[in-house]
Structure 1
Amino acid sequence: MTVVAWIAVALTAFFVVRPMYQKYRFGVLLADMTSIVERREGIQAYLGPETYGSEYGLPSPQGIADTIAFERGLALLSRKPRHVVTRELAKNSIVAASMGRPGRVGAIALLIDILVSKGIALGAEDFLKSYS
């Protein structure tokens, strides 16, 4: 292949494939963060609020991994526009409701509340104003 062909392939990958991959990673990140919230809420509902991430008073490996992943996710989401984060979570909530997963819908609502309190997502009123 000639140098021009390689440059064309590189530019195509950069301008076509990269944005698609970024959207995919964004969706995976939101799904992972929702799963962490859903898992935490399920454990707390079953064992009590002080038990998440602890086993006999010590942090469990899963709790530590979830905390690290959640903090990393917050850092990554803070780079995205707030209305985009809220819009994607709202779409995920609609999909979860249509699949008959009320626990997932509740976890998404709680995640939105957490993100709004940290300034990463928009509240319902502000979100509706941004699209009117």
Structure 2
Amino acid sequence: MNWLMFTGMIVIGTVLLRGPIRQIRLGMHLTKMTSVMEKIELSRYTLPVGMGGGVDSLSVPEQYEANKIFDSGVSFLRKFPKHEVTKALIKNAIVADKLDRPIRYVAINNLIGNLVDGGVAISIEDFMNIN
């Protein structure tokens, strides 16, 4: 009887926590992807003209890690409706703006553009038309 109750609690817990866990994982992937975009954006301001901006401005290990982060992130984000991805990024952009982090704000905007191009998110204009 104890095993049956234990199994039932696990099943109920999994069902109840599935949504919040997915949202946490969504936030984790978006945070990692935004941090990569922020490093790239920061390189535009710190490297000499013509040498900054883009994945090539990162070191080879950082490029490898960035590719890995984006591959796993995009694969995970495809499980969500496009408007949810955009909504989460817009919330993050508002927070970055309130915390006076302009480079992160620009990085989020660039990330939205990249995810729209990849078919994972909708543009801000389309999102505003929906809401």
The question of a shared fold, defined as TM-score above 0.5 by the shorter chain, is answered with yes
In structure 2, the partner of 1:43 is: 43
Output one character per residue of 1:46-90: Cα deviation in whole Å (capped at 9) or x when no partner: 222374134xxxxx2112111221122122212211000000000
- Secondary structure at 2:25's aligned position in 1? helix
Higher mean C-alpha deviation, range 76-85 or range 17-26: 17-26
Output one character per residue of 1:71-121: Cα deviation in whole Å (capped at 9) or x when no partner: 221222122110000000000011111111111111000101111111111
Matched positions, count: 126
Q: TM-score, normalised by structure 1?
A: 0.85
Q: Distance in 2 between matches of 1:119 and 1:29?
A: 16
Gaps of at least 5 residues in structure 2 are none
In structure 2, the partner of 1:15 is: 15
Higher mean C-alpha deviation, range 100-109 or range 39-48: 39-48
Contact persistence 1:53–1:64 (CA under 8 A) = no
Q: Distance in 2 between matches of 1:17 and 1:53?
A: 38
From 57, 67, 78, the equivalent of 1:52 is 57
Contact persistence 1:30–1:89 (CA under 8 A) = yes
- Where does 1:19-98 land on structure 2 (aligned, <5 Å)? 19-47=19-47, 48-49=51-52, 51-54=56-59, 60-98=60-98
Deviation at 1:3, TM superposition (A): 3.1
- Secondary structure at 1:120's aligned position in 2? coil
Q: TM-score, normalised by structure 2?
A: 0.86
Q: Share of identical aligned residues, percent?
A: 32
Letter in 1 for 2:100: G
Q: Distance in 1 between matches of 2:66 and 2:26?
A: 18
RMSD between aligned residues: 1.7
Contact persistence 2:82–2:122 (CA under 8 A) = yes
In structure 1, the partner of 2:3 is: 3
- Secondary structure at 1:100's aligned position in 2? coil
Deviation at 1:12, TM superposition (A): 2.3
Deviation at 1:20, TM superposition (A): 1.7
